[in-house]
Each structure stands twice: as C-alpha cells, then as structure tokens.
Chain A
Amino acid sequence: AQSVTQPDIHITVSEGASLELRCNYSYGATPYLFWYVQSPGQGLQLLLKYFSGDTLVQGIKGFEAEFKRSQSSFNLRKPSVHWSDAAEYFCAVGAVESQGAQKLVFGQGTRLTINP
C-alpha cells in the first residue's frame, strides 16, 4: 500500500520569498503524484500532477514540482510567494487498481502562512 509523508505541518514565509514544501512517498511501482491546495472552507484544487515523463512538472499559479525517484520525493516549489498563496497544501499518491479504481492516499497537509 502507498503512503505519503509531509514533514512540515506549518510553514511561514515572507511575501516575495521562495517556497519549498516537502513530500515523501512510499509505493512499490511508479506512482501517480499530485499536489492539491485547499483554501479555508473550500474543497481541494489540483495544482499539478505527475504521471510519467519529464520529472519537473509545471502547475497552475506559478507552482512547480520535481519528481525524484531516488529520494522518493515530490517537492513543491514556487520562486516568489504571494499573500494569496496562504492555504493548506496536500501531497497525494495514487494507484490504479482493479476496474479502474483510483486509490488516493493523502499526506497530513502543510499549512502555509505568508508574512506581509
């Protein structure tokens, strides 16, 4: 079974600073990896996904993530954060099982606070 660890529960950065959110996964085969963002009181919005191919993937809102198989990591980055990026971020690993069932396992989430 797959698992995901987000080591940082809460991160605070200054507006304009760079950001890196960590994600480590455990899965026996090539995983499907996702980053979602959740604003307060809202559902989850997909930022980016990795299925195969280029290990550096670009997402919405200026985010990118790099898949590193040797480190079992899929860290999320942004070169310069904006106050509107304050939210909770979830990393997830997916596996497609019988009959096309997609089993998503989520990390615990990282809450991002932006200092003005």
Chain B
Amino acid sequence: NAGVTQTPKFQVLKTGQSMTLQCAQDMNHEYMSWYRQDPGMGLRLIHYSVGAGITDQGEVPNGYNVSRSTTEDFPLRLLSAAPSQTSVYFCASALFGNQPQHFGDGTRLSIL
C-alpha cells in the first residue's frame, strides 16, 4: 500500500518554464489537496478537489492549475514558473470531509 506518491522529489526550473507535479493515491480517497510549505509559514492550501471532476481554489492559487480526471490522480501544473514559487509542495488525501489527511513526501522545487 503506497499511500500518497509524489513525483518528482526534486526539480530545478528556469523562470518561465512550465511543469507538472504528479500526485497519486491508492486509498480510494475522495478528497485531495495541494499545499506549499515555506519557512516560517507552515503549509498553505493551493487547490483542492472533493472528487473526480471537481476542483476549487485554496488560499494561494495564483500561478497554479489543477484537474482531477480520476479519483487516484491530482496533478498540479505551473504554467510559467516564477522565483516566488520556489517551495516544497505537498499533496494530501483524505477519505472524506473531516477525516485526517495523508501526506506525500513532498516535491522540492527551485525556480532560478
């Protein structure tokens, strides 16, 4: 049972490049979310999904897109990377509304 799997673990991009951070879970969880973690700021919610075909914005959505075509996958897309998006990104999933979220190991992203 893999839980929440994020790929890649590390990535370096140049300003203006695009990329997709992958997230997959094998627990049949309906709820999935993306967070970014920056020093001294805890984790902040970027986007979330309550099921396939349904997504919504979190606290810091600008510069990021998401889609949810299957229950298992929830990719995060950076359309035009900016240095301010240098961060550690975490994907999480939960069975439903108030259940604890399970986190992946994170993707460390640097934008030069």
A residues near B (Cβ < 8 Å) are 4, 9, 32, 34, 36, 41-46, 49, 51, 90, 92, 94, 96, 99-109
Contacts and interface: CB of A to CB of B under 8 A. Distances in A.
The A interface, classified by DSSP as helix, strand, loop or mixed, is strand
B45 A103 contact: yes
Given A46-B100, A49-B100, A106 B42 contact: yes
Given A44-B90, A107-B42, A108-B41, A100 B97 contact: yes
Nearest to B101: A104
A92 B98 CA distance: 12
Nearest to A47: B100
A1 to B, nearest CB: 9
Given A46-B100, A108-B41, A101 B90 contact: no
Interface of B: 4, 30-31, 33, 35, 40-45, 48, 50, 54, 56, 58, 90, 92, 94, 96-106
Contacts of B100: 34, 46, 49
B31 A102 contact: yes
The 6 closest A-B pairs by CB, nearest first: A106-B42, A43-B103, A96-B97, A100-B97, A44-B103, A106-B43
A99 B42 contact: no
6 contacts: A41-B105, A42-B106, A101-B50, A101-B97, A102-B33, A109-B40
A90 B42 contact: yes
B39 to A, nearest CB: 9
